[in-house]
A and B are shown apart, each in its own frame.
Chain A
Amino acid sequence: MIDIMPYLEILRYVLAGALLFGGAVFMIIGAVGMLRLPDFYARIHAAGITDTLATVMLIAGMMLHSGFTQTTAKLALVAIFLFLTSPTATHAVANAAHKAGLKPRLGKVQPPHPRDKMKGAK
């Protein structure tokens, strides 16, 4: 009979690391979107990725890493808090822009290709 507990333990850390790495990658994607997207309303969506998926992955990774402890319970509280507050803050910002009369760009929008942007900068 093979004792599988050590393997599960290794798997736990591998999963935690994968989640943390994935979260970091989505954070960077959100930052890239922040820079590339054309107007205020579009940039909110990029921030949405860092606010939701990236944060969920990071917190889940940390929870797996700390195992069945009080830290995990506190991390769960942080996750619930963020799920409550981050969309509310985003809504408040978007609502303020809307009420102040900022018009979004609608229809078809094609931001410049990175290659063209480089040429323009030279």
Chain B
Amino acid sequence: MGLGKFIGYLVSLSAMLVALWLTLSGYFDKPLLLSLGAVSVGITVLLVLRMRILDDEASPYHRLFGLVGFWGWLLVEIIKSSLIVSKNILRPEMLLTPRMVRVKTLPASTYGRVLFANSITLTPGTVSVDLDDDEIIVHSLLKEMTNKDDFAEMARRCARAVGEKESIS
């Protein structure tokens, strides 16, 4: 990791922590609390450095705008599939067609893959069971939820949300 990137992560993490402190605290006019906030951010960054977890994945805050758009799209998907699953749960003659599928179309970066796996889990009806080097194993409640193109669409959007050009297939 280059020094420039490292400083970039440091700055974006610190900025996020400052914003988080101000949101939680809500006291902008008390110098004591503000300086304690600065101390707290310092302690947190120090601990993160000692834990050696400061990298691209720990500090994804420069991608916030891409993620917000993605979350909007995801919310619509969640509502759609929630309604399908709810309808099935409430139907007296429930008919399930559970299956395990392997999804091979993944975003290239680790971060994109984790976002993809979690997005699959967030949509009711599909749960990512395992994330390996080249595939995600997905358990799905209904057959019609394992459409290959839908997964590919989600993978593409995840990759774009984290700033990748193309998803690998």
Q: Which residues of A approach B to under 8 Å, CB–CB?
A: 26, 29, 32-33, 36-38, 41-42, 44-46, 48-49, 51-53, 56, 70, 73-74, 77, 83-84, 86-88, 90-91, 94-95, 97-99, 104-111, 113-115
Enumerate chain A residues within 8 angstroms of B86, measured Cβ to Cβ: 26, 29, 33, 49
Which residues, 83 to 100 on B, are CB-close (under 8 Å) to A? 85-86, 89-90, 92-100
Q: Which residues of B approach A to under 8 Å, CB–CB?
A: 20, 23-24, 26, 71, 75, 78-79, 82, 85-86, 89-90, 92-100, 117-119, 121-131, 137, 139, 141
Tell me the bound Cα distance from A29 to B86 in angstroms.
6
Q: List 12 A-B contacts (CB under 8 A).
A: A26-B82, A48-B121, A49-B82, A53-B79, A74-B23, A77-B24, A84-B118, A87-B118, A98-B130, A106-B100, A111-B96, A115-B92
Tell me the bound Cα distance from A94 to B139 in angstroms.
9
Closest to A25 in B: B86
Closest to A49 in B: B124
Besides A91-B131, A106-B100, A111-B94, 7 more A-B contacts (Cβ < 8 Å) are A32-B90, A41-B139, A49-B86, A83-B122, A87-B119, A94-B127, A107-B98
Closest to B89 in A: A33
Q: Give the dominant DSSP class at B's interface.
A: mixed
Tell me the bound Cα distance from A32 to B20 in angstroms.
37
Enumerate chain B residues within 8 angstroms of A107, measured Cβ to Cβ: 97-99
- B24 near A106: Cβ-Cβ < 8 Å: no
Enumerate chain B residues within 8 angstroms of A29, measured Cβ to Cβ: 86, 89-90
Tell me the bound Cα distance from A99 to B38 in angstroms.
44
Which of the listed residues B99, B122, B137 has the most CB atoms from chain A within 10 Å of its own CB? B122
Tell me the bound Cα distance from A70 to B75 in angstroms.
24
Enumerate chain B residues within 8 angstroms of A110, measured Cβ to Cβ: 93-96
